[in-house]
Amino acid sequence: GAVVSQHPSRVICKSGTSVKIECRSLDFQATTMFWYRQFPKQSLMLMATSNEGSKATYEQGVEKDKFLINHASLTLSTLTVTSAHPEDSSFYICSARRTSGETQYFGPGTRLLVL
Protein backbone atom coordinates (compact mmCIF):
# COMPACT_ATOMS: atom_id res chain seq x y z
CA GLY A 1 0.00 0.00 0.00
CA ALA A 2 0.85 3.65 0.10
CA VAL A 3 0.64 4.99 3.62
CA VAL A 4 0.94 8.62 4.60
CA SER A 5 1.07 9.67 8.22
CA GLN A 6 0.66 13.01 9.88
CA HIS A 7 1.78 14.14 13.28
CA PRO A 8 0.25 15.37 15.45
CA SER A 9 -3.31 14.32 14.75
CA ARG A 10 -4.63 17.09 16.94
CA VAL A 11 -3.02 20.17 18.45
CA ILE A 12 -4.25 23.02 20.60
CA CYS A 13 -2.07 26.08 20.94
CA LYS A 14 -2.19 29.62 22.19
CA SER A 15 -2.51 32.56 19.85
CA GLY A 16 0.90 33.83 18.76
CA THR A 17 2.72 30.53 18.97
CA SER A 18 4.01 28.43 16.08
CA VAL A 19 2.92 24.91 15.31
CA LYS A 20 4.73 22.35 13.16
CA ILE A 21 2.87 19.55 11.40
CA GLU A 22 4.75 16.63 9.91
CA CYS A 23 3.74 14.60 6.88
CA ARG A 24 5.53 11.34 6.16
CA SER A 25 5.25 8.81 3.36
CA LEU A 26 5.90 5.56 5.18
CA ASP A 27 6.45 3.04 2.43
CA PHE A 28 7.26 5.02 -0.67
CA GLN A 29 9.31 7.96 -1.85
CA ALA A 30 7.42 11.13 -2.57
CA THR A 31 9.03 13.74 -4.77
CA THR A 32 5.97 15.92 -4.43
CA MET A 33 3.80 16.57 -1.42
CA PHE A 34 0.76 18.78 -1.17
CA TRP A 35 -0.78 20.64 1.73
CA TYR A 36 -4.51 21.24 1.94
CA ARG A 37 -6.79 23.02 4.32
CA GLN A 38 -10.33 21.93 5.01
CA PHE A 39 -12.89 24.04 6.83
CA PRO A 40 -15.85 22.33 8.52
CA LYS A 41 -18.28 20.84 6.02
CA GLN A 42 -16.27 22.21 3.12
CA SER A 43 -13.99 20.84 0.49
CA LEU A 44 -10.22 20.67 0.51
CA MET A 45 -8.41 23.76 -0.63
CA LEU A 46 -4.89 23.37 -1.91
CA MET A 47 -2.46 25.59 -0.03
CA ALA A 48 0.87 24.69 -1.53
CA THR A 49 2.88 22.18 -3.47
CA SER A 50 6.27 21.15 -2.20
CA ASN A 51 8.95 19.37 -4.13
CA GLU A 52 11.83 17.71 -2.38
CA GLY A 53 14.86 19.95 -2.24
CA SER A 54 13.21 23.07 -3.62
CA LYS A 55 10.99 25.89 -2.47
CA ALA A 56 7.30 25.30 -2.14
CA THR A 57 4.83 26.81 -4.57
CA TYR A 58 1.93 28.52 -2.86
CA GLU A 59 -1.57 28.96 -4.17
CA GLN A 60 -2.96 32.43 -4.63
CA GLY A 61 -4.01 33.97 -1.34
CA VAL A 62 -1.87 31.73 0.85
CA GLU A 63 0.76 33.61 2.83
CA LYS A 64 4.09 31.88 2.41
CA ASP A 65 5.56 33.61 5.46
CA LYS A 66 2.63 32.43 7.53
CA PHE A 67 2.67 28.84 6.36
CA LEU A 68 6.25 27.66 6.09
CA ILE A 69 6.78 24.45 4.18
CA ASN A 70 9.92 22.37 4.18
CA HIS A 71 10.41 19.21 2.13
CA ALA A 72 13.87 18.13 3.16
CA SER A 73 13.66 14.48 2.19
CA LEU A 74 11.72 12.16 -0.08
CA THR A 75 9.62 10.96 2.84
CA LEU A 76 9.05 14.05 4.97
CA SER A 77 7.42 17.42 4.52
CA THR A 78 6.60 19.84 7.31
CA LEU A 79 4.11 22.68 7.55
CA THR A 80 4.75 25.31 10.19
CA VAL A 81 1.96 27.69 11.04
CA THR A 82 3.77 30.75 12.37
CA SER A 83 2.28 33.14 14.88
CA ALA A 84 -0.97 31.22 14.82
CA HIS A 85 -4.26 33.03 15.31
CA PRO A 86 -7.76 31.67 15.93
CA GLU A 87 -8.64 32.08 12.24
CA ASP A 88 -5.89 29.56 11.44
CA SER A 89 -7.89 26.90 13.26
CA SER A 90 -8.69 24.27 10.67
CA PHE A 91 -8.10 20.75 9.48
CA TYR A 92 -4.79 20.46 7.64
CA ILE A 93 -4.27 17.54 5.32
CA CYS A 94 -1.19 16.51 3.41
CA SER A 95 -0.86 14.23 0.46
CA ALA A 96 2.09 12.60 -1.20
CA ARG A 97 2.66 11.53 -4.74
CA ARG A 98 5.04 8.77 -5.65
CA THR A 99 8.16 9.73 -7.50
CA SER A 100 6.68 7.85 -10.44
CA GLY A 101 2.92 8.09 -10.53
CA GLU A 102 -0.03 10.41 -10.65
CA THR A 103 -2.08 9.30 -7.68
CA GLN A 104 -1.98 11.27 -4.44
CA TYR A 105 -2.20 9.44 -1.14
CA PHE A 106 -3.59 11.38 1.77
CA GLY A 107 -2.65 11.59 5.39
CA PRO A 108 -5.30 11.39 8.10
CA GLY A 109 -5.15 15.12 8.76
CA THR A 110 -4.23 17.36 11.67
CA ARG A 111 -6.85 19.27 13.59
CA LEU A 112 -5.45 22.63 14.72
CA LEU A 113 -7.24 24.72 17.31
CA VAL A 114 -5.79 28.10 18.16
CA LEU A 115 -7.11 29.66 21.35
Give the number of residues in contact with other proteins, rule: CB under 8 A: 21
Per-residue three-class SS string for 80-109 = EECCCCHHHCEEEEEEEEECCCCCEEECCC
Taking the C-alpha atoms of residue 20 and residue 78, their distance in angstroms, rounded to an integer, is 7
Say whether residue 80 binds other proteins (CB under 8 A).
no
- Region binding other proteins by CB under 8 A among candidate stretches 17-25, 65-73, 75-83, 102-110: 102-110
Of 52, 85, 86, nearest in space to 69 by CA:
52
Which residue, 71 or 97, is less far from other proteins as judged by CB?
97
Q: How far is the CB of 23 from other proteins (least distance, A)?
A: 11
Among residues 14 and 41, whose Cβ is nearest to other proteins? 41
**Residue numbers 30-69 binding other proteins by CB under 8 A:** 32, 34, 42-46, 49, 57
Q: Which residues contact 43 (CB under 8 A, 6 or more apart)?
A: none
CB 14 within 8 A of CB 115: yes
Closest to other proteins by CB, 4 vs 81, is: 4
- Contact residues: other proteins, CB under 8 A: 4, 32, 34, 42-46, 49, 57, 93, 95, 97, 102-109
